Amino acid sequence: SSTEKPILLNNIADAEDFVSGAEVAVIGFFQEPESPEASQFRLAAGRIPEVPFGLSTSPAVLSHYGVSANTVTLFRRVDNDRRDLDMNNKDIDTEKMTRFIRMNELRLVTEYDPVTAIGVMQSSLQFNLLLITDKMSPKHPERMRKFRAAAELFKGKILFILLDSNLKSNERVVSYFQLKKSQLPALAIFHTPDDEQDVMTVDEVSIERVQDFCNRFMQ
């Protein structure tokens, strides 16, 4: 897009609007907008076009979020959580910044891969619901639309995850739930503190079915 990235956030109101306007938002807090760290941050912003980046050097904004200068903070709506990357006295480059964001950018529905897996495991939400399905299926867009609508209903309670059964790296997860490819698509829910789990094969994903499955399991 032609809009300037990152967006300069000069006051608390702008920063709050910026954070609340996206599922995942990243703000770099710096003392100097032209510092080497800020330049690395701009490069990272260019690499992740789908995530909004903001930059602030306002002492009021830094103090509002309780951060020191040279901190990159990722805010996410799915579990109302944030992650801070402190760059003081550490050798943080664009590479590490990008990885930090990729790892922690959990969304309403997060696609599972080796990088997001780390963020998923560190989430404060104790319930995870996986839709294990073939992304190449012609039914995929419609399934996702319904899965996403169901995710809205459990925001802050359950982490909704999309697992593409075509990926070789996901085969272990599929077998962990003792599923065969012929049984997919399936829903798998688990409670992280005690590994309690339940699995349901679904020919069709419907909002009601997902809702029932989650409510039953949580009770």
- Which CATH architecture best describes the domain 7-104? 3-Layer(aba) Sandwich (3.40)
Q: How far apart are the first and last CA of the chain?
A: 46
CA distance readout (Å), 13 to 9, 31, 60, 65, 128: 9, 19, 11, 12, 33
Q: Could you give the CA distance from residue 141 to residue 151 in angstroms, rounded to a whole number?
A: 15
What pLDDT does 2 receive?
41
From-to residues of CATH 3.40.30.10 in the chain: 7-104, 109-218
What pLDDT does 147 receive?
97
140: left (phi over 0), alpha (psi -120 to 50) or beta: alpha
> Tens of pLDDT along 79-108?
999 999 999 878 888 999 999 999 999 999
Burial class (CB in 10 A: 0-12, 13-18, 19+), 203: exposed
What pLDDT does 142 receive?
95
> Tens of pLDDT along 125-152?
999 999 999 999 999 999 999 999 999 9
Q: What mean pLDDT comes out for the span 49-69?
A: 96
The answer to whether 24 touches 76, Cβ cutoff 8 Å, is: yes
Q: What mean pLDDT comes out for the span 109-124?
A: 92
Q: What percent of the chain has pLDDT over 70?
A: 98
For residue 1, is pLDDT > 50? no
pTM of this structure: 0.87
Q: What mean pLDDT comes out for the span 17-24?
A: 96
Q: What mean pLDDT comes out for the span 46-60?
A: 95
Q: What mean pLDDT comes out for the span 8-22?
A: 96
Higher pLDDT, residue 168 or 5: 168
Question: Which superfamily does 109-218 belong to?
Answer: Glutaredoxin (3.40.30.10)
What pLDDT does 4 receive?
65
